Structure 1
Amino acid sequence: MPKIYRRLNLFMAKPMQPSQGFTDLLANTPVDAYPLALTLGIDGTLYVKRSTDKRPAWGEILDEATGIAIPGLVSRSSSAVLLLRADGSVFAFAFGYGRYLLEQSFFVQDFGLRTALNTLDDKSLRSVDLHTLEDQPVQKKSQAARDSEVGVFGIDILRDVLRAVTGVPKPAIGLKQISGGDAMFSFGVEMEAADLPTLAQRIKSYYTNNDYKASFSWVDNVRKIKDDVSIDALNAQLVQAFIAGNSGIMITLPEIGSWDQILGFSFTRHKDKVRPTIQLADYVNTISDLTQLTIDALKRDRLFVHDVDGEITEHSVYRCIYLEISAGDKTKIVFDGKWYEVDSTFIGRINETLDLIQISTATFPEVEIWDESGTFKIESEGDYNARAATDHGYFLMDKKLVKTDRSTSPIELCDLLTPIKQLVHVKHRKGGSAGLSHLFAQGGVAAEILLGDKAFRKKARTVLRGVNPAARDLVPLDTLKSADYEIVFLILGEGSGTLKNNLPFFSKVNLSKTFENLTQRGFRVSIAGAPTKLRPTP
């Protein structure tokens, strides 16, 4: 038969035990098995999902509109997967919805993405799918109108995890349009059925080389762990870390909280015991026998967030856990209920950048906490900012919004402004990684707009004059010199000495990114902490 151009989807199984067969790689879905033609000489089997005709859900409204049962409205999804052995490995060619017939945990999770990166022409990309590690993890897909270099897609190599990529392969590869994401590699090729084993063997050779490092080495910085076997093993280590009393475990809000509205926190089994900050010990003390802790219990237990109006929201404790586990040259991190693998070299670069960030010389008061009728409370950011401004002669800019055409909403110039042009941005430490990342982004955006937008400076001067006439001239209308300004990130709830080391990894990434962006524009950047103290008794 002549070779015909086809689009194929290929998976590669992880090494199998001698006792395992093809059927062990399939999900729990009814299938029919078909042996392959003996003339092909292929060691493999075809599995086809048993499917039935279904009437589409929208058929009912058409029946109603016409007054009769419309005939011939039938839909069917076809799924097939061809499993074969070649070059000492087992491969799966999926057709239709065939990928859903596979038990994904038994397949190499980066096979599709790495093979695509090893075969792509880095100047001929069509689309990229990204997972951005922001305040909330964000999924993004970018598509170019024509073949483009990777720089066109605006990838942030410090915060973006590459999930999938599509483009044109290098000329020597001999394939057509290719795509790769996680375990699946998709490609076009002229072929016939007898070519399947040699195709699989050839593509395996593309997976095992390291050509991608020439243009895409940054993809190794951070990757999301998806296969169930690895996740189960890491979850087991997480449970053991709790049992062993690992001090590196943190429980934080998995999303940005409105600290001016938060009264405190509590946990399952002690819901009414409200504390002003999230403390690991408060959760551990709710567990009667820590040695019996399970991952299911961590997922089932809840962190309750109490606000000043008496409303309570809740999050799974598992989703609130942050822990870093180092093994060899990799570090595994659980964050927002997901596991990530981070390259140690990348971590080293982040720490080198953090070492360049100075501790601010500005003076800030401690954060007050107190016991009110058996419930511990902590000073709100708003109250703290007002007190710091009064005690130290700073200008209070908290909630003083300035309109700008360069942002979707008005922004704060800063929370506190000192007479020597220090722009101080303030956030509670116990708000977790999401809140801290928001803090760094907020400070970065405000500084960049201040530097580049004369209309914003004009409006900011009006706001400053309303705060204090003496503050207005701290922001000139023309010729602003960035070197005259220091951007200070003040984190409430921890002292300056331990602050940088104790930041969650993804907060370190965002702080490093902000530091590099602002210092390149000439700003000085520093960080400061404010520990807690008991409020004096009246």
Structure 2
Amino acid sequence: MARKQSPSVRTTLYRLVDVPILLDGVRSKYTDENSDFSWQYVIVNDREALLVTGVMVTQLVRWADTLQQLTDHTVEIGNRIAAAALLIRNGDDAAWALTYGMGFHLLEQAKVDPGFGQRIAIRTVDPNELNSLTRTTLDYRSRTDRLSIPSGEHLRGFGVSDFGELVTRLVAKAKIEGLTAGANPLVIRGADALNMPLGRRPDALLADLDLIDSILNLQAPAELEVLEQLVAIKNQTKLKDRLESQLARKLAGHDIGRLALSWPHEQIDENGTPSSYRLISAGREHGFVQDGIPDLDSLLAPLGGLDPEDRLAKLDRMRIVLFRDAEGEEAITSAIAARKWLAFETYEDGRCYCLHGGSWYLMASNYAEKLSRRVQEIFERDPGISLPDWPADGDEDEAMYNTRAAQSLGGTLMDQKLIHTGLHRHGIEACDILLSEGELVHVKDIDKSAPASHLLAQALVSADALLHDEEARDEFRAIVERSRGDVSEMTTPIRSVILGVARKARPISAEDLFTFTKVNLVRHVASLEERGVQVFVVPIMRP
């Protein structure tokens, strides 16, 4: 007996914006008169739609010539890969896009609503059944990683912080009432695209799409609202223009904000592991293929020597394509806009904005308020010590201050005494001053955010080494023994970290820190506290 067909089928769905004409949602190279692809307006039940279909053909694979040279045998072989996209009208200037095969190549990426699939996932999934998520850490490391727990776990199981992380992809089980697929839990994947079962029949499909549209208007559940701690900037042309101007100046080398490479996992990993890439600049579709993956220097190199505005214009024309093979035959991504590879953080009117995935985000006000309260709590802790004032006449540098402070506190001077291990061949500084009972004091004279971030990073790296690296602990004890002769009281290498922060004119306060420095502080404190190490901030008077 034939198996009964399911009323729904797993589908990849995008949401397109700013498409009063459906054809605007498709890359022109697939719809112009010289294209081998076909397109036509159709009707899905009662909705206007556009169907684009075709085959991407490679007449001769690049490695054919290599085989011919090796074997002296003619190799004539190519690739044929099917692709289709169905665009369905959704309101006056929006549309749904269902893609099949390599159909994601057909879409005009500038029209894709970023994070649409993730927003649906956040509002529908079971918080205790998260399978996988991709996050970008918005601190000095600016790293992106993907975490997976196939059996499912609560958000806490993924170690997502309340602060400084942008989640861009989510896989989890959801139960959506009213869906054609039924009320049973189903796995959905949300990033820019949404992957989930949708109705096979036109009326069922449109009902599912209307349901998804209504879900976008719901509030994120309290347990998952941290995943939306950053708010997308939309329809604010003047603000975007000011932010773009700051990005242009940063590309030209001005000291504005932070710029780093951000790996767009959600557009890549579903399609395989890349071996090479092609940087398409100024409309040249056939730039040479380069091994490996792009880095920030390779992305910015074509912008050298241009005015800020020209750099930004050229960046917006650049694209990156990743390939599964070293020869550049089998593309595993569409031509991803170069700006989607950049992470940039800057300030406008006292508020922090981030560029990620080609879109601008504002840190949510409640997020900023929670962050400030958390930092204030850290500043209000009493470490039980006070650090001596730092003369403002300029005659005493940091090394001299540390020597005097160590004598004042009865501590051991550790400044510039480096610990070398297999993991830290160039050496790390455990602290500036070691007090009894394993209290590590780090001192920094700060008048801008970068040194503060460096201080926090230094504290975390040294604490991590002393907590987990036996070789580092042995080196540390040897340095202490040489310095003061007695290590009998060192029952533990570290119990607390004290950050002594000096600034000219008046003591540093929680509100004086830049936003991303606050993020770094909170993240580092949470990391150390999980390991039983308390953290204190002690402002140093520098009149």
> TM-score band (shorter)?
0.5 to 0.7
Offset at 1:59?
2.0
Offset at 1:114?
0.6
Please say if 1:166 is aligned against 2:171: yes
Partner residue of 1:8? 11
Which residue of the other structure, out of 504, 512, 516, is the alignment partner of 1:502? Answer: 512
Give the secondary-structure state (helix, strand or coil) at the position aligned to 2:507.
helix
Distance 1:453 1:96, change over 3 A: closer
Which residue of the other structure, out of 197, 200, 208, is the alignment partner of 1:188? Answer: 197
- C-alpha separation between the residues in 1 aligned to 2:255 and 2:386? 28
Give the secondary-structure state (helix, strand or coil) at the position aligned to 1:137.
coil
Partner residue of 2:227? 219
- C-alpha separation between the residues in 2 aligned to 1:194 and 1:53? 38
Q: Which letter maps to 1:216? A: L
Give the secondary-structure state (helix, strand or coil) at the position aligned to 2:216.
helix
- C-alpha separation between the residues in 1 aligned to 2:189 and 2:56? 28
Give the secondary-structure state (helix, strand or coil) at the position aligned to 1:52.
strand
Distance 1:405 1:25, change over 3 A: same
Partner residue of 1:341? 362
Please say if 1:81 is aligned against 2:94: no
Partner residue of 1:29? 29
Q: Deviations over 1:160-193 (max 9, x none)?
A: 21010112222645654311113x1111345245
Distance 1:447 1:70, change over 3 A: closer
Distance 1:523 1:167, change over 3 A: closer
- C-alpha separation between the residues in 2 aligned to 1:141 and 1:197? 33
- C-alpha separation between the residues in 1 aligned to 2:222 and 2:190? 18
Q: Answer with 403-412 or 50-59: which moved more.
A: 403-412
| Equivalent pair of 1:118/1:209 in contact (CA under 8 Å) | yes
| Equivalent pair of 1:7/1:187 in contact (CA under 8 Å) | yes
| Equivalent pair of 1:165/1:179 in contact (CA under 8 Å) | yes
Partner residue of 2:295? none
- C-alpha separation between the residues in 2 aligned to 1:428 and 1:453? 29
Q: Deviations over 1:386-415 (max 9, x none)?
A: 322334436432343446899999643212
| Equivalent pair of 1:36/1:46 in contact (CA under 8 Å) | yes
Partner residue of 2:240? 234
Please say if 1:96 is aligned against 2:101: yes
Offset at 1:21?
1.1
| Equivalent pair of 1:397/1:415 in contact (CA under 8 Å) | yes
Offset at 1:215?
2.6
Which residue of the other structure, out of 63, 67, 77, is the alignment partner of 1:58? Answer: 63
Q: Which letter maps to 2:518? A: K
Offset at 1:116?
1.4
Q: Deviations over 1:114-152 (max 9, x none)?
A: 111222222222211111123221010112232333232
Offset at 1:242?
12
Distance 1:463 1:431, change over 3 A: farther
Structure 2's unaligned 5+ residue stretches are 32-36, 261-306, 315-341
- C-alpha separation between the residues in 2 aligned to 1:196 and 1:506? 44
- C-alpha separation between the residues in 2 aligned to 1:320 and 1:40? 44
| Equivalent pair of 2:438/2:494 in contact (CA under 8 Å) | no
Please say if 1:357 is aligned against 2:378: yes
Partner residue of 2:534? 523
- C-alpha separation between the residues in 2 aligned to 1:231 and 1:97? 33
- C-alpha separation between the residues in 2 aligned to 1:403 and 1:508? 30
Offset at 1:83?
1.3
Q: Deviations over 1:26-77 (max 9, x none)?
A: 3332324533666844421112367433322222222223211223x21134
Matches within 5 A, 1:415-430: 415-417=432-434, 423-427=440-444, 429=446
- C-alpha separation between the residues in 1 aligned to 2:203 and 2:509? 62
- C-alpha separation between the residues in 2 aligned to 1:92 and 1:77? 19
- C-alpha separation between the residues in 2 aligned to 1:124 and 1:59? 47
| Equivalent pair of 1:385/1:416 in contact (CA under 8 Å) | no
Q: Superposition RMSD on alpha carbons, in Å?
A: 4.4
- C-alpha separation between the residues in 2 aligned to 1:156 and 1:526? 21
Q: Which letter maps to 1:24? A: D
Distance 1:340 1:498, change over 3 A: farther
Give the secondary-structure state (helix, strand or coil) at the position aligned to 1:497.
coil
Give the secondary-structure state (helix, strand or coil) at the position aligned to 1:134.
coil
Give the secondary-structure state (helix, strand or coil) at the position aligned to 1:126.
strand
Matches within 5 A, 1:387-426: 387-392=400-405, 393=407, 395-402=412-419, 411-417=428-434, 423-426=440-443
Q: Deviations over 1:236-276 (max 9, x none)?
A: 25749999xxxxx9746758xxxxxxxxxxxxxxxxxxxxx
Distance 1:34 1:253, change over 3 A: closer
Distance 1:56 1:105, change over 3 A: same
Q: Deviations over 1:295-336 (max 9, x none)?
A: 557899xxxxxxxxxxxxxxxxx998732446xxxx442579
- C-alpha separation between the residues in 2 aligned to 1:362 and 1:387? 14
Q: Deviations over 1:512-537 (max 9, x none)?
A: 233455567463501435869xxxxx
Distance 1:391 1:522, change over 3 A: closer
Distance 1:195 1:509, change over 3 A: same
Offset at 1:424?
2.5
Q: Which letter maps to 1:13? A: L
Q: Which letter maps to 1:92? A: A
Task: Report the TM-score when normalising by structure 2.
Answer: 0.67
Offset at 1:355?
1.9
Q: Answer with 437-446 or 404-413: which moved more.
A: 404-413
- C-alpha separation between the residues in 1 aligned to 2:12 and 2:429? 50
Q: Which letter maps to 1:132? A: T
- C-alpha separation between the residues in 1 aligned to 2:308 and 2:512? 26
Partner residue of 2:476? 460
| Equivalent pair of 1:253/1:432 in contact (CA under 8 Å) | no
- C-alpha separation between the residues in 2 aligned to 1:41 and 1:335? 39
Offset at 1:341?
1.6
Partner residue of 1:130? 135
Give the secondary-structure state (helix, strand or coil) at the position aligned to 1:356.
helix
Q: Answer with 412-421 or 58-67: which moved more.
A: 412-421
Offset at 1:479?
6.2
Give the secondary-structure state (helix, strand or coil) at the position aligned to 1:108.
coil
| Equivalent pair of 2:131/2:172 in contact (CA under 8 Å) | yes
| Equivalent pair of 2:57/2:78 in contact (CA under 8 Å) | no
Q: Which letter maps to 2:479? A: V
| Equivalent pair of 2:180/2:208 in contact (CA under 8 Å) | no
Offset at 1:428?
6.1
Give the secondary-structure state (helix, strand or coil) at the position aligned to 1:357.
helix
Distance 1:332 1:207, change over 3 A: same
Give the secondary-structure state (helix, strand or coil) at the position aligned to 1:387.
helix
| Equivalent pair of 1:386/1:396 in contact (CA under 8 Å) | no
Offset at 1:416?
3.0
- C-alpha separation between the residues in 2 aligned to 1:335 and 1:496? 33
The percent of aligned pairs where both chains have the same amino acid is 20
- C-alpha separation between the residues in 2 aligned to 1:299 and 1:477? 59
- C-alpha separation between the residues in 2 aligned to 1:252 and 1:200? 40
Distance 1:366 1:22, change over 3 A: farther
Matches within 5 A, 1:112-131: 112-131=117-136
Task: Report the TM-score when normalising by structure 1.
Answer: 0.68
